[in-house]
A and B are shown apart, each in its own frame.
Chain A
Amino acid sequence: MTSGVPIGVPAGAMPPAPTRERPRSPVQRPGRVGEESARIDGVPKVRGEFEYSSDLWMDGMLHGATLRSPHPHANIRRMDTSEAEEMAGVHAVLTHEDVPGRKVYGMEIPDQPVLAWERVRYQGEPVAVVAADHPETARRALEKIRVEYEVLDPVTSAEEAMREDAPKLHLSGNVLRRVKVLHGQPAGATAEVVVAGEYEVGMQDQAFLGPESGLAVPDGRGGVDLHISTQWLHIDRDQVAESLGLAPDEVRLTLSGVGGAFGGREDLSMQIHSCMLALETGRPVRMVYNREESFYGHVHRHPCKMRFEHGATRDGKLVYVRAGLVFDGGAYASSSNAVCLNAATFACGPYDVPHAQIESHMLYTNNPPCGAMRGFGAVQACFAHESQMDRLAGALGMDPIDLRLKNAIEPGMRFPFGQEVPHPAPVREILKKVKDVPMPEEQELAGRDPRELPGGVSNVTRGEGVKRGVGYAVGFKNIGFSAGFDDYSTARVTLAVEGGEPLVRVHTAAAEVGQGLVTLQAQIARTELGVERVAVEPADTRVGSAGSTSASRQSYVTGAAVEGACAAIREHLFERVREELGGNGDLSLDGDEVLSEGRVIVSLVDLLGDEEIEETLEYHHKETHPLDENGQGDAHLQFAFAAHRAVVEVDTELGLVRVVEIATAQDVGKIMNPQALEGQIEGGIAQGLGLALMEEIQVKSGKVQNASFTDYLLPTILDMPSVRMEILELADPEAPYGLKGVGEPPTISSTPAIVAALRDATGQPLTRIPVRPEQMVGISSKPPEEPPHPGSAGYAEIGRLDERPEH
């Protein structure tokens, strides 16, 4: 390794191509699989000492900034960068002409310009990038770039995009994907009881706290090292290399501290831009989006409109489901294809449905691009199917839980998309469990601490208008990548004596985004090799791909890769023991020693000596298959189920809410780390609560109205109730340790459970989420049509992108 430039130390004689010190990998003493194991990065994060990607620093680095389109739809007539280039302190001003390789990128379909050339398709689309010696200089240089736009009418909804006369946003039209699922004989199906409903989901944001940021360092030989927070290093690497016109091995990525992801970091943001600037200037270039820019810098959860019809027998057995789902994909493809497929396959919910006809459409519009977010298509579908189940229960005069129990899908049945329901699929068990959790006691309203009332510290009620409501929902989701994708992970594990004790080093490219994989990998190594000390190496592209930290897949896929590599080392050790010591009994590893029939026969220190054992293993999960033209196929790897019960109190006169408690039952296969599991479940529920009650990017005429945490509201600790958990450990025989992915299910059915409870309290239909106070008091079912006027604070103080001075 070349000599590093330490952080914060004056550079002195700067080498021509400085490199960053590789981050250290601290030694952990983790628990075994299943044991409580504290995060190695927990204390540094709480103390503010953890290095996030926005903290990256190198002496001599430049600061990048991005010029973005103020218009959701426009032709670029002319661009003049000369004035910006002449500014003191400005080192580079780059446009599409300077993209050395492929001028577009994208995970599924490379349709998104690295920098726009003649047309912009959403507000905030990058048009030019600047590197300067100070962030403020870079921002001022952006104002000196003259762009002449011919503003076009934006296509602002999926319905509009579908019209014959809609402008074509891409060469082959506005329909991005259509997935149809046909099951049984839906065409002629009739039923004794029929309920129909229309549902709508607003645009949620991942709202990770660490903004898009990274540091690109040129290597002096034409290549570049990028330190970045992302979810999948290798897919970033491949896309960056393509657009830089470099070979993949000339672009090396190292994971930096990730401040949350939730799907929003699967797509590229500043990766190519910072590398272009670094290669152009020969200097390290850091780019850090601010909070507002972050809202324009990543994809969001798809807004969706859904029309459902459920038919059932008089005694509550489902006969058919017909559904049409229309998703607004925004300006570019991102992972919309897969979201469209997921929603189609999960539209009926975890129920036995004899006949189904599902159509899921994904459209291009001039709204912000949408893509991956926790729950990935299952969230929207679950809100609709669970709302429908409640509506059906109402029509039948049945208890909503009984209706669900009666129709719960079981192992051996077939999902509407044709795949056999694998064992375990404990829909009934989790519904019963969540129902049996004792109800929280009804507290006296008078004399409560205001924080325990709707409105909290805002002092709006002392019990007036407050009604309690209870709601249930169940949901499910595929774990891992589906529909034929060769989904794999790579682990390199080494065992050696370091500092007089055995130490396992685990090296993968799997992104730790806060979920706890850094601990889990260590736990697995500890368990498999019986070694007390484990160091998890920084994730980077020196090792093979680990796939994406998404689809709740890393514990499964990277977990299996680490387990497999450890097993290979173990076998290697046992062979040595048999050869050198002649033992042939049942060997095992524990406490840094090799045991035979439970008795210590040699310590690892003695056995290893100076030798280092290294094994690399690539784990590919079981093959999946794409859907055929009728939406039939063994598309998914694993299914995870969760059920939620929400108890709420609503001030029915004001439409303000206190969620009293969430109870959940979830099958996780195996509890790998209790603390991490609780964190995932509580965090996922908080995100589901946010979608139910407050989180929405409001877009009017293609323009974002609330790109700030002042007006994009996230739940605070006072909005989040305590969670009671019932965890099932029904092992999946095909998964490592029997585990199931846990990250997404908490988000999926918590939202409809809360909305069901709100309906119970208010008697309002509440068909759109997030539910606004207006809807709960029956004033309006929709947010205002008119764009807001400045004057009541907030965005008016901050200003909007489209109101900025334009040149």
Chain B
Amino acid sequence: MPAFERAELTAELKVLTSGEDGLRGEIEAAKTAAGETGLAHEAGPETMVLAGGRREVLDAATRVVEAALDAGASGVELKIEAQGDAPRFGPT
């Protein structure tokens, strides 16, 4: 990630739906769960990003994945990026 994003870890989650229309519920469930972690922002119609300290992002990602699967998502694409010098900034 460019710029000032200093989060130790950034997780990008894309919710995969079964392909039929009207299944936004899976995405909504994932977004709600992501929002509750306090680490999230939207990054596309089916995509959200969690940014923060290593432990909290991993925990949050698990919760979001579970929420999506519980709501019937066929899968979740997960991409995790670590920021090299983030430890200098401590937990965010």
CA distance A108 to B1 in the complex (A): 10
The segment from A96-104, A569-577, A724-732 found at the interface with B is: A96-104
Whether B39 pairs with A110 at a CB distance below 8 angstroms is no
The segment from B15-23, B66-74, B82-90 that touches chain A is B82-90
Interface hit among A165-173, A323-331, A739-747? A165-173
Find A172's partner among B1, B6, B38 (CB 8 Å cutoff): B38
B89 touches A626 (CB 8 A): yes
- Judge whether A103 and B3 touch: CB under 8 Å: no
Chain B residues, Cβ within 8 Å of A102: 43-44
Q: What distance in Å separates the Cβ of B77 from its nearest Cβ neighbour in chain A?
A: 13
- B51 touches which of A109, A168, A173 (Cβ 8 Å): A109
Q: Find out whether the CB atom of A117 lies under 8 angstroms from the CB atom of B45.
A: yes
Q: Does B76 belong to the interface (CB within 8 Å)?
A: no
Mark contacts of A144-172 with chain B using CB atoms, 8 A cut-off: 1 yes-contact digit, 0 otherwise.
Answer: 00000000000000000000000010111
Q: Which of B35, B44, B49, B85 has the most CB of A within 10 A?
A: B44
Which of A24-32, A235-243, A515-523 has 4 or more CB atoms under 8 Å from chain B? A235-243
Q: Which residue of chain B has the shortest Cβ distance to A108 in the bound complex? A: B4
Residues of chain B contacted by A168 (CB below 8 angstroms): 35
- Who on chain A is nearest to B10 by CB? A110
As a 0/1 sequence over residues 1 to 37 of chain B, the CB contacts with chain A under 8 angstroms (1 = contact) are 1111110000000000000000000000001001101
CB distance from A465 to the nearest CB of B (A): 51
The one of A111, A170, A238 that contacts B3, using a Cβ cutoff of 8 Å: A238
Q: Are A118 and B45 in contact (CB under 8 A)?
A: yes
| Min C-beta distance of B88 to chain A, whole Å | 6
- Mask of B40-71 contacts with A, CB within 8 angstroms, 1/0: 11111101110100000000000000000000
Does the CB pair B42–A485 fall under 8 Å? Answer: no
> CB of A484 within 8 A of chain B?
yes
- Residue-wise interface mask of A (612-655) relative to B, using a CB-CB cutoff of 8 A (1 in contact, 0 not): 00000000000000101000000000000000000000000000
The 8 Å CB contact of A111, one of B35, B37, B41, B85, is: B41
- Taking CB atoms, residues of chain B closer than 8 Å to A628 are 90
Also in contact, A170 and B41, with CB within 8 A (given A486-B85, A626-B90) = yes
Q: Is the CB of A104 within 8 A of B41?
A: yes
Partner of B42, one of A171, A173, A337: A171
Assess the B88–A173 pair: CB atoms within 8 A: no
Q: Are B89 and A111 in contact (CB under 8 A)?
A: no
A107 on interface, CB distance cutoff 8 Å = yes
Chain B: interface size category: 20 to 34
The answer to whether B43 touches A103, judged by C-beta atoms less than 8 angstroms apart, is: yes
Contact residues in A for B44 (Cβ distance below 8 Å) = 96, 102-104, 117
Report A278 CB to chain B, min CB distance, Å. 21
**Interface contact B45-A484, CB-CB below 8 Å:** no
Q: Are B2 and A238 in contact (CB under 8 A)?
A: yes
Known: A171-B35, A172-B35, A172-B39. Contact between A110 and B45, CB under 8 A?
no
Closest Cβ neighbor of B49 among chain A residues: A110
Nearest residue (CB) in B for A335 is B4
The interface residues of chain A lying within 8 Å CB-to-CB of B48 are 171
A171–B40 CB distance below 8 A: yes
> Closest chain B residue to A114 by CB distance?
B44
A454 near B: Cβ within 8 Å? no
Knowing A109-B5, A238-B3, the reply to whether A96 touches B85 (Cβ < 8 A) is no
Task: Return B61 CB to nearest CB of chain A, in Å.
Answer: 14
Bound complex: CA A628 to CA B91 (Å): 10
**Complex Cα distance A225/B69, Å?**
42
A471 within 8 A of B: no
Q: Nearest residue in A to B30 (C-beta to C-beta)? A: A171
A239: which B residues are within 8 A, CB to CB?
A: 2-3
CA A153 – CA B54 in complex, angstroms?
37
Q: Given the complex of chains A and B, what is the CA–CA distance between A235 and B37 in angstroms? A: 29
Residue of A nearest to B27 (CB): A118
A426 at the interface (CB under 8 A from B): no
Residues of B within 8 A of A96 (CB): 44-45
Closest CB in chain A relative to B30 CB, distance in Å: 10
Would you give the 0/1 interface string for A72-107, flagging 1 where the beta carbon is closer than 8 Å to chain B? 000000000000000000000000100000111011
Within the complex, the shortest CB–CB distance from A464 to chain B, in Å, comes to: 54
- Cβ–Cβ < 8 Å partners of B4 in chain A: 107-108, 337-338, 485
Kindly provide the distance from the CB of A531 to the nearest chain B CB, expressed in whole angstroms: 36
Please give, as numbers and ranges, the residues of chain A lying within 8 Å of B31 by CB-CB distance.
171
Tell me if B6 and A106 are in contact (CB < 8 A).
no
Q: How far is the CB of B72 from chain A (nearest CB, A)?
A: 20
Contact yes or no, B3 A172, CB < 8 A: no
A-chain residues with CB within 8 Å of residue B45 when the two chains form the complex? 96, 103, 117-118
Q: Assess A171 versus B89: contact at CB under 8 Å? Given A235-B2, A239-B3.
A: no
Bound complex: CA A337 to CA B1 (Å): 17
Q: For the complex, what is the distance from the CA of A337 to the CA of B48, rounded to whole Å?
A: 20
Q: How far is the CA of A104 from the CA of B45 in the complex (A)?
A: 11
- In the complex, what residue of chain A is closest to B48 when comparing beta carbons? A171
Instruction: Say which residue of A103, A104, A108, A171 sits within 8 Å of B34 (CB atoms).
Output: A171
Q: Which of A460-513 contact B (CB under 8 A)?
A: 484-486
B40 to chain A, nearest CB (A): 4
Q: How far is the CB of B50 from chain A (nearest CB, A)?
A: 9
Minimum distance in angstroms from B25 CB to a CB of chain A? 14
Closest to B39 in A: A172
Q: Give complex CA distance A718, B35 in Å.
A: 52
A337 to B45, CA, bound (A): 25
CB pair B3–A104 under 8 Å, yes or no, is no
CB-defined contacts of B88 to chain A, threshold 8 Å: 484, 626
* Contact indicator A108/B39 (Cβ below 8 Å): no
Could you say which of A172, A235, A626 contacts B40, with CB atoms under 8 Å apart?
A: A172
Query: How far is the CB of A769 from the nearest CB of chain B, in Å?
Result: 29
Contact assessment for A109 and B38 in the assembled complex, using a CB-CB cutoff below 8 Å: no
- Of B2, B41, B85, B90, which is within 8 A of A171 by CB? B41
**A165-211 interface with B by 8 A CB criterion:** 168, 170-173
User: What is the minimal beta-carbon distance from B43 to any residue of chain A, in angstroms?
Assistant: 5
Taking CB as reference atom, which chain B residue is nearest A629? B90
Contact status A110-B85, CB under 8 Å:
no
A486 to B85 Cα, complex, angstroms = 9
Closest residue on chain A to residue B88 by CB atoms:
A484
Q: Residues of B contacting A235 with CB < 8 Å?
A: 2-3
Contact A110 B90 (CB under 8 A): no
How many angstroms between the C-alpha atoms of A161 and B31 in the bound complex?
Answer: 20
Q: Closest CB of chain B to A104's CB: distance in Å?
A: 5
Query: B43 touching A110 by the CB < 8 A rule?
Result: yes
Report Cα–Cα, A104/B3, bound state, in Å: 13
- Whether A103 lies near B38 (C-beta < 8 A) is no
> Inside 8 A of B85's CB, which chain A residues have their CB?
486
Can you name the residue of chain A whose Cβ is closest to the Cβ of B3? A107
Q: Give Cα A118 to B47, complex, Å.
A: 12
Cβ-closest chain A residue relative to B37: A172
Q: Which of A235-279 contact B (CB under 8 A)?
A: 235, 238-239, 242
Question: CA–CA, A485 to B2, complex, Å?
Answer: 12
- Report yes or no: B3 in contact with A106, Cβ–Cβ below 8 A: yes
User: Nearest Cβ in chain B — how far from A25, in angstroms?
Assistant: 28
Q: Is the CB of A172 within 8 A of B41?
A: yes
B3 & A108 in contact (Cβ 8 Å cutoff): yes
Check A242/B51 contact, CB under 8 A, given A173-B35, A484-B89.
no
Instruction: Give the shortest distance, in Å, between A560 (CB) and chain B (any CB).
Output: 21
Q: In the bound complex, do residue B5 and residue A110 qualify as a contact, i.e. CB atoms below 8 Å apart?
A: yes
CB-CB under 8 A from A172, the residues of chain B are: 34-35, 37-41
Beyond the given A96-B44, A338-B4, could you list 4 further A-B residue pairs with CB under 8 A, ordered by the A residue number?
A113-B42, A173-B38, A337-B4, A626-B89
By a beta-carbon cutoff of 8 Å, the part of chain B in contact with chain A is: 1-6, 31, 34-35, 37-45, 47-49, 51, 85, 88-90
A–B complex contacts, Cβ < 8 Å, 19 sampled: A96-B44, A96-B45, A103-B47, A104-B49, A108-B4, A109-B41, A110-B3, A110-B5, A110-B49, A111-B41, A111-B42, A117-B44, A117-B45, A171-B40, A172-B37, A172-B39, A172-B41, A486-B85, A628-B90
Q: Give the B-binding residues of A (Cβ under 8 A).
A: 96, 102-104, 106-111, 113, 117-118, 168, 170-173, 235, 238-239, 242, 337-338, 484-486, 626, 628
Top 6 nearest A-B pairs (CB, nearest first) are A238-B2, A171-B35, A103-B44, A171-B40, A111-B41, A108-B4
